[in-house]
Amino acid sequence: MNRQRFLNRFILQQATSSAPVSHYLHSINKHQQPLKKAAVLMPLIQRENGLHMIFTQRALHLKHHPGQVSFPGGRYELSDDSLASTALRETQEEIGIEQDNIQLVGSLPSLTTNSGYHVTPFIGFVNSTEQVIIDRSEVKVCFEVPFSYVLDSNNFSKQYLVANRQRHFTYCCAYQNHLIWGATAQMIINLQHHLKA
């Protein structure tokens, strides 16, 4: 799939479809305190062999989800104009991609995580000439996965875990030596559903 084909499919479905939100993500997050707003970028980049999606692996010393594969993003700040601005700012801070070199094309339904965040995922195209510069205080490594691999539902399996003394499911996807699961995997599943709707 190339950039134009993705845009055609994504934008045509955006007004008429709503991807499902994982029951796992909602059922384990009945916090007494208000949820914190956050946003992530699901970055796409055109390569010679097709579209790729950019992922990060969180630094091991972080309080929330250390070492987990994620999309660049973070908590909404009052200085942010919008959640879209949050996603762009955090992407620049974490992996050095300039905001002016990202073209946002839309968003997916928000998810609630077990760390108390209400996360809105945005999809954007990164200029293919951009160079990743990792902030080691937040990111251990940055890597790309062919978008055709990400879109193949056969690469995802449903696994179960226990949280808050209840059994819940999460999607998992292995790529090379990386395991994509939890909210990140659910966002991808939602994108798959959106494009197939």
> pLDDT, tens digit, for every residue of 54-75?
999 987 766 666 678 999 999 9
DSSP-assigned beta bridge partners for residue 39: 74, 120
Rounded to whole angstroms, the Cα distance separating 93 from 123 reads: 17
CATH superfamily, domain at 3-196: Nucleoside Triphosphate Pyrophosphohydrolase (3.90.79.10)
Q: Provide the 10 A C-beta neighbour count for residue 51.
A: 20
User: What global pTM score does this model have?
Assistant: 0.86
Q: Calculate the alpha carbon distances from 109 to 98, 120, 165 in Å.
A: 25, 7, 27
Higher pLDDT, residue 23 or 116? 116
Radius of gyration of the chain from its Cα atoms, rounded to whole angstroms: 16
How many whole angstroms separate alpha carbon 53 and alpha carbon 69?
12
The H-or-E segment that residue 152 falls in is none
Instruction: State pLDDT tens for residues 132-181.
Output: 999 888 899 999 999 999 999 999 999 887 656 777 788 999 999 999 99
Main-chain dihedrals φ then ψ at residue 15, nearest 5 degrees: -80, -20
